[in-house]
Structure 1
Amino acid sequence: MKQDSSVTLHPDEHSRQTAEIMQRFNDVFQLHDPSALPRLVAEHCVIENTVPAPDGARHVGREACVQLWSAIATQPGTRFDLEETFVAGERATIRWRYWLADGNSIRGVNLMRVEDGLIVEAMGYVKG
C-alpha cells in the first residue's frame, strides 16, 4: 500500500500519557496486583463488563470499578495474555486472551478512554 506523503503521523503527548496509563493498568493483571488501580481510575469511571451476556453489567464509580478489576486480577489460577495494545490520543484498545483456572480461554477486547490522566471508561467485549 502506498503511503500518502501529505499525511504525517507523530506520536503526541496525549497518546504517550495514555500509553503509560495502559501499561500500568495491564501490569495490574499481569502481576495479579490491583494496588495501583485506585490511582488509575477516575471517580466517575464507567465499566461495561463482558458478563452477563449479551450486554454485560454496568459498573459506575471508582469504588465499583476498582472492586471489579481487583476481583478479576486476583482470581486464582487465571492469567491474561496481552495480544495488542493500541493507543490513539485519549483512547486505547487492548486485545487479550483470558485463561481460566480450568485451562479454557476467552478472547476479548477492551475499549478504554482516559481523561486528565485517569481511566474514565472501559467497554469489554468477548468473542462468542
Structure 2
Amino acid sequence: MTDPRALNVQRFREEQKAERLWVLSAIAPFTVSQDRFVLIETEQGARLEICAACTPRTPLGQGQKRLIAPETLAAFLRAVEAADAAWDADAIPAAIHDGVTITVECASAGSYRRVRMVAPPAGTPHAALLDAWRASFEEVRKALR
C-alpha cells in the first residue's frame, strides 16, 4: 500500500507545478499543533509557505507566503546536499520521549523522501539538515529555538 502522506505531498507538488517540494514540520509532544514550512521550487523561482501553530490536517497550501531569493535557495540546496546522509534513517533516540519531533520531506517528480528526528546531536547529518533550514529561513530559525 502506498503511503498516504507521500501521496498527499506529491499531489500538492503537482498542483503547485513544483519541480521540487520541501516540507519541515515541528510538533511538540502532547500538542495537536505544529509549525510547518513548505518550500516550493518552480521554474519561476521559490517561495516559502509558513503555517505556525497549524494542525497536521491543515492543507499544505495554507499559511503566509514569502518569495525566496535565488541565492538563498542555492545556499539552502548546497547545505541540504551536504547533509544527504540524513535521509538514510530516522534519528529518534530511544531515551527521548518528550522532545520536539521534526519531520523533513522532499518530493520531486521521481521521488519522495522523509526523515524524522528528535534533538539530533551536533555534527550529525540530521543536525546539518536542520541547520540548512535554520541558516536559510529566519522563520524556521525562530520556530526551532
* TM-score bin, normalised by smaller chain: 0.3 to 0.5
Bigger radius of gyration among the two: 1
- With the length of structure 2 as denominator, give the TM-score of the two structures: 0.31
- With the length of structure 1 as denominator, give the TM-score of the two structures: 0.35
